[in-house]
Amino acid sequence: MSGALDRLASGLFALALVGAPLLGLAACDGEKLDPEDGLEREDLGSFTTDTGGGADIPFEPAAGAVSALVHCGPYGYDILATAETITGPGDSAIYDMEDPTGTAMRVGIMSDLLPVLLPVSPDLDLAAGAHSMRMYFDAEEGVTVSCSAVYRTQPVEANPTVDIRVVFVGVNDVAPGLNAAEAETTLASVLDEVNTMWSGGNLEIGAVTYEDFDGDVATYTVVDGDEELGSLLRTVSSTNDRSITFFFVQEITDDAGGTILGLAGGPPGTAAVGGTSKSGVVVTAASFASDPSEVARIMAHEGGHFLGLFHSTEKDGSESDPLSDTPECSNDADGNGTLASNECEGTGAENLMWWNTKDGATMSADQGWVVSRSAAVR
Ligand SMILES: [Ca+2]
Ligand SMILES: [Ca+2]
Ligand SMILES: [Ca+2]
Ligand SMILES: [Zn+2]
């Protein structure tokens, strides 16, 4: 267990940089699908930890399902949880916490609520039939959680799109023009850049809506730590849930007092599920006036996390994604324990999900395969 818990430091997925030529934004508002078309939701029930500190969560994707999102919580911000093992039909091994990179599956380590998405790689597609996830909690006492699943039965589209909802949380003071009334103009080139970065995975922004936050702006314009982040993401309602909600804020600080450019619920977020601490993405807009491309890089990268993408290579090189078409870099040339972008030029730093996203980063075909199966994508 300690190996996996050592990874806690990477439980918050931070970001930095991208820029690219602008394309015409297809903010198409065409034919609307029924929001529930192609999704099946299942209440899996309530589960309490056994004497081993874990709980076994059975779930069963239907034939034809292209993805399954299982989520369990809430258990608060003082407890961390992950999956110890996941098995598929015939007790086939899908995931083992002790050797995550030995499989084509990844699971995060999360406070409050754990979302788990299958599949996160074309090398381990989803099978119909009986699955079981053993959840592990880093807790002193017993824990009880509610679990649900969303199975996406809608087939994968040739040209998948994802609807975007941008909610402005008191950012107009530091970034004039970032408000619901002006955003269609002021944010257009940023969304063009997001589309450019996503185009390698053939993902495109669909319908876009802009709102000014109608909650406690004074509290949330600076997001202080994990619990405030979770509370903000929980305001995503079930009527907005088949989209990615991006909250634009002035600043995000982590529990250790560091500043973070963006954070996604997850990975993965609870795509198509509102009301959880993993129901959206938070983006800092402080740099918008001086470097609007930074906002685009944050949106594209954190949106990737929300839709189920893990870092292609982690900052300290200890972890990598389960995708064969994204390079892994191990060239810590100066031996300082950190893989800097200039140490991995041409060998990984060009990917959208590089831990420190750069100018011109792109989504790979395998990453496109994963996101096209998200319940938030159509
Ligand atoms: Ca605050
Ligand atoms: Ca890879
Ligand atoms: Ca280094
Ligand atoms: Zn990240």
Average pLDDT across each block of 10 residues of the chain; the chain has 378 residues. List them in order.
Answer: 36 33 37 71 97 96 95 97 98 96 96 98 96 97 97 96 98 96 98 98 98 98 96 91 95 90 94 97 95 97 98 94 96 96 95 94 98 97
> Residue 219: nearest ligand to its CA?
1
3-class SS string, 64-76:
CCCEEEEEEECCC
213, 135: one domain? no
345, 240: one domain? yes
198, 114: one domain? no
> Residue 215: nearest ligand to its CA?
1
Paired residues of 161 in beta bridges: 204
- Please give the distance, rounded to the nearest whole angstrom, from the Cα atom of residue 150 to the centre of ligand 1: 32
217, 366: one domain? yes
Provide the token pair at 180.
């619901």
Phi, psi of 281, deg, nearest 5: -135, 145
Provide the token pair at 49.
């930890």
* Surface-to-core class of residue 35, CB atoms within 10 Å of its CB (0-12 exposed, 13-18 middle, 19+ buried): middle
- Please give the distance, rounded to the nearest whole angstrom, from the Cα atom of residue 147 to the centre of ligand 2: 30
- Tell whether 115 is covered by a domain: yes
* pLDDT at 38 (0 to 100): 92
194, 301: one domain? yes
Q: Which of 104, 127, 152 is the last residue of a domain?
A: 152
- Please give the distance, rounded to the nearest whole angstrom, from the Cα atom of residue 311 to the centre of ligand 4: 6
* pLDDT at 256 (0 to 100): 87
122, 226: one domain? no
Domain that holds residue 322: 12-30+157-331+334-371
Distances in Å between the Cα of 225 and the Cα atoms of 220, 230, 255, 294, 351 are 11, 9, 5, 22, 28
CA angle 185–186–192, rounded 5-degree value: 80
- Please give the distance, rounded to the nearest whole angstrom, from the Cα atom of residue 321 to the centre of ligand 3: 20
- Tell whether 7 is covered by a domain: no
Q: Alpha-carbon dihedral of residues 84, 87, 91, 94, nearest 10 degrees? A: -100
- Please give the distance, rounded to the nearest whole angstrom, from the Cα atom of residue 372 to the centre of ligand 4: 19
The amino acid at 50: D
294, 227: one domain? yes
Q: Which of 128, 152, 176 is the last residue of a domain?
A: 152
Strand, helix or coil for residue 137: strand
State the Cα–Cα distance between residues 360 and 278, nearest whole angstrom.
28
User: What CATH number should be reported for the domain holding residue 217?
Assistant: 3.40.390.10
- Please give the distance, rounded to the nearest whole angstrom, from the Cα atom of residue 293 to the centre of ligand 3: 25
- Tell whether 87 is covered by a domain: yes
* pLDDT at 359 (0 to 100): 85
- Tell whether 5 is covered by a domain: no
- Please give the distance, rounded to the nearest whole angstrom, from the Cα atom of residue 334 to the centre of ligand 2: 23
- Tell whether 377 is covered by a domain: no
The amino acid at 38: G
The amino acid at 39: L
> Residue 351: nearest ligand to its CA?
2
- Tell whether 360 is covered by a domain: yes
- Please give the distance, rounded to the nearest whole angstrom, from the Cα atom of residue 101 to the centre of ligand 2: 10
* pLDDT at 292 (0 to 100): 96
Q: Which of 121, 152, 183 is the last residue of a domain?
A: 152
* pTM greater than 0.85: yes
245, 352: one domain? yes
- Please give the distance, rounded to the nearest whole angstrom, from the Cα atom of residue 343 to the centre of ligand 2: 17
165, 299: one domain? yes
- Please give the distance, rounded to the nearest whole angstrom, from the Cα atom of residue 45 to the centre of ligand 4: 31
The amino acid at 98: E
- Please give the distance, rounded to the nearest whole angstrom, from the Cα atom of residue 227 to the centre of ligand 4: 19
268, 189: one domain? yes
User: What CATH number should be reported for the domain holding residue 75?
Assistant: 2.60.120.380
- Please give the distance, rounded to the nearest whole angstrom, from the Cα atom of residue 6 to the centre of ligand 3: 20
> Residue 222: nearest ligand to its CA?
1
- Please give the distance, rounded to the nearest whole angstrom, from the Cα atom of residue 287 to the centre of ligand 4: 18
- Please give the distance, rounded to the nearest whole angstrom, from the Cα atom of residue 42 to the centre of ligand 2: 32
- Please give the distance, rounded to the nearest whole angstrom, from the Cα atom of residue 303 to the centre of ligand 2: 18
- Please give the distance, rounded to the nearest whole angstrom, from the Cα atom of residue 311 to the centre of ligand 2: 9
- Tell whether 2 is covered by a domain: no
Rg (CA), the chain: 19
217, 147: one domain? no
- Tell whether 1 is covered by a domain: no
State the Cα–Cα distance between residues 376 and 68, nearest whole angstrom.
12
* pLDDT at 19 (0 to 100): 30
Provide the number of structural domains found in the chain: 2
* Surface-to-core class of residue 16, CB atoms within 10 Å of its CB (0-12 exposed, 13-18 middle, 19+ buried): middle
112, 175: one domain? no
> Residue 337: nearest ligand to its CA?
3
- Please give the distance, rounded to the nearest whole angstrom, from the Cα atom of residue 88 to the centre of ligand 4: 28
- Please give the distance, rounded to the nearest whole angstrom, from the Cα atom of residue 170 to the centre of ligand 1: 12
- Please give the distance, rounded to the nearest whole angstrom, from the Cα atom of residue 2 to the centre of ligand 2: 24
